[in-house]
Amino acid sequence: MAKIVLAMATTHGPQLHTTVEQWQLRVKADKGRTHPFRGKMLSFDELVQLRDIEGLDVKSSMDSQHKYHARCHAAMEQLADKWEEVGADIAVVLGNDQNEVYETEELNPPFMVFFGDKIPNYPQTEEQRAALPPGVAEAEHGHATEEYTEYPGVPELGAHIIQTMMENEFDVAASKIWPKHARNGASHAFGHIYRQVMRDKVVPNVPVYQNTFFPPNLPTAKRSYQFGQIVRKAIDTWQSDKKVAVFASGGMSHFVIDEEFDRKFVSAIKNHDKNYLTSIPLKDLQSGTSELKSWISLAGLLENEKAQMNEIDYVPCYRSQAGTGTANGFYWWDLAR
């Protein structure tokens, strides 16, 4: 039987692949939209007023931002070093899509498992890059290759995950040929793992997509947890001697940072608090924070594991006095022992 030897949970956002100066490009967008925060939709100015007592003027200073940037890059290197040390043969990557592979109005499955031979990665066209929001196009190098590249899939495991899902009354979409209109091939949730954690030495892997952003077919936290449980059952029953790593890519709280929520969430995963993880309401899993559903799936997969959760760092990368930015976290479990 296959054996899971490593699990990792990591953020993947643009702030990890841009300079502090480029972070400021996102502030203009922050000011022009409303943001979900603790169950309410608030403007930038309302957030500034509401969070005045938190000292965000200091936390979002340029000096603080440079320190966040350095800590994140040090943590990414440590995570990649751990990946290399364990030496898994293949990987299952839990991530999400943001109109990169699936056009949401055309087709947007709540869950999709890829079971094809090849996973493409490549840069966007100049026209596509020009249409991206400021501060996002600049981060493309963090997840997209400079020229067309193909990574190996694991068709046998992908198909087995799909079959196991169906046998357990969990309907999923299945894809054997990568959609031709994908902007970068692999979405940034996956490209980040390939480029930053695997350092472009990509092992055969199974991309597993979950719709975290777009209504009306958003999975609940409970459904995300159940999904992870069945992925674990599939890996455990796969007839192979391969050493498997499982990644959760996404989160943490953004585009408004909520350190209290993040810490409570991490504590729940560390302590196997299934009741909390499966009862988080959708109103608290909105915008970029919704990507934590991939972590909830990983928690379901690790439900019966005794391996300790290891935190490399948790870095709330504030970029404004409204608390906008991305909280970044880097975690791993060694299951090889």
Give the tens place of pLDDT for each residue, 2-18.
999 999 999 999 999 99
Confidence of residue 106 (pLDDT cuts 50, 70, 90): confident
What is the average pLDDT score of the chain?
A: 96
Rounded to the nearest 5 degrees, what angle is found at the Cα of 289, between the Cα atoms of 124 and 103? 40
Confidence of residue 205 (pLDDT cuts 50, 70, 90): very high
Q: What is the pLDDT of residue 311?
A: 98
Q: What is the pLDDT of residue 135?
A: 87
Across the range 159-187, mean pLDDT stands at 93
Q: Above 80 in pLDDT, residue 152?
A: yes
Confidence of residue 102 (pLDDT cuts 50, 70, 90): confident
Q: Above 80 in pLDDT, residue 103?
A: no
Q: What is the pLDDT of residue 100?
A: 84
Q: What is the pLDDT of residue 34?
A: 96
Say how far apart CA 98 and CA 13 lie, in whole Å: 12
**Which of these, 271, 265, 93, lies nearest to 191 by C-alpha position?**
93
Say how far apart CA 312 and CA 329 lie, in whole Å: 8
Across the range 164-180, mean pLDDT stands at 94
122-144: per-residue pLDDT in tens?
999 889 888 888 889 899 999 99
Chain CA centroid to CA 111, Å:
14
DSSP 316: E
Q: What is the pLDDT of residue 181?
A: 76
Domains of the chain: 3-334 (3.40.830.10)
- Range list of H helices, 168-292: 188-192, 221-236, 259-270, 274-277
Q: What is the pLDDT of residue 31?
A: 95
CB 203 within 8 A of CB 89: yes
Across the range 253-276, mean pLDDT stands at 98
Q: Above 80 in pLDDT, residue 32?
A: yes
